[in-house]
Structure 1
């Protein structure tokens, strides 16, 4: 198997329209994505979204996020929240429940690990 190389400009030029985020309950968050790598157990790529928000219940996988542009507020199921912006890195483990609110157009690099988690 060979290594895979790309750059942000190339990834953005091959992005796929994801439409309005399923489950959005505020705004009309429009999404897009571009996959760099996809295998049964791991997915890596870019994802973008316009302002809006949605709830996530019992996340089935683990996601590592590096925010490249924009801002979002992440609220955990217990009500604790934090804001993320360009340069921030965070992990949403399998089983996580909470809320995403995109405050400014967001672009992130993501790694999703399909670890069969969840509760």
Structure 2
């Protein structure tokens, strides 16, 4: 079991692709198309209460996306298309690593349920 919320401990997760202690995080309220649902778990929250990392999954659907804090993601499974408001597209598949700056705005379309480790 990973350490959760500590400020001086290491947080380690051996197999994030099969980790199944996920909570219901909600159905996406502002869908553009479909009915997408999110589950996840926060593994660690830093002392500043802003930095965190965890596991996130989402079922297929299409919605608007506004990144409020810079985020680093390593996608473990699924297929997704992220489209920035300027039209730049990112095709996500297992193994893709993406860093989003604070304020990134666009859309997210999950084609196959996606799982990522985020920070």
Specify the TM-score bucket, using the shorter chain as the normaliser.
0.7 to 0.9
Match for residue 93 of structure 1 among 81, 96, 101: 101
CA contact (8 A) 2:16 2:117 kept: no
Output the CA distance in 2 between the equivalents of 1:6 and 1:96.
Answer: 28
CA contact (8 A) 1:69 1:105 kept: yes
Corresponding residue pairs, total: 110
Output the CA distance in 1 between the equivalents of 2:52 and 2:117.
Answer: 11
TM-fit CA distance, 1:9: 5.9
Q: Which runs of 5+ in 2 are unaligned?
A: 1-7
User: TM-score, length-normalised on structure 2?
Assistant: 0.84
Deviation per residue, 1:14-54 (Å, 9 max, x gap): 21012211322211111100111013121100000110011
Q: Which runs of 5+ in 1 are unaligned?
A: 112-119
Structure number with higher strand proportion:
1
Matched, 1:41 2:32: no
CA contact (8 A) 2:79 2:111 kept: yes
Matched, 1:107 2:104: no
Output the CA distance in 2 between the equivalents of 1:97 and 1:76.
Answer: 6
User: TM-score, length-normalised on structure 1?
Assistant: 0.84
CA-based RMSD of the aligned residues comes to: 1.8
TM-fit CA distance, 1:10: 9.6
CA contact (8 A) 2:77 2:115 kept: yes
Gap change, CA 1:18 and 1:105, over 3 Å in 2: same
TM-fit CA distance, 1:11: 7.6
Gap change, CA 1:4 and 1:26, over 3 Å in 2: same
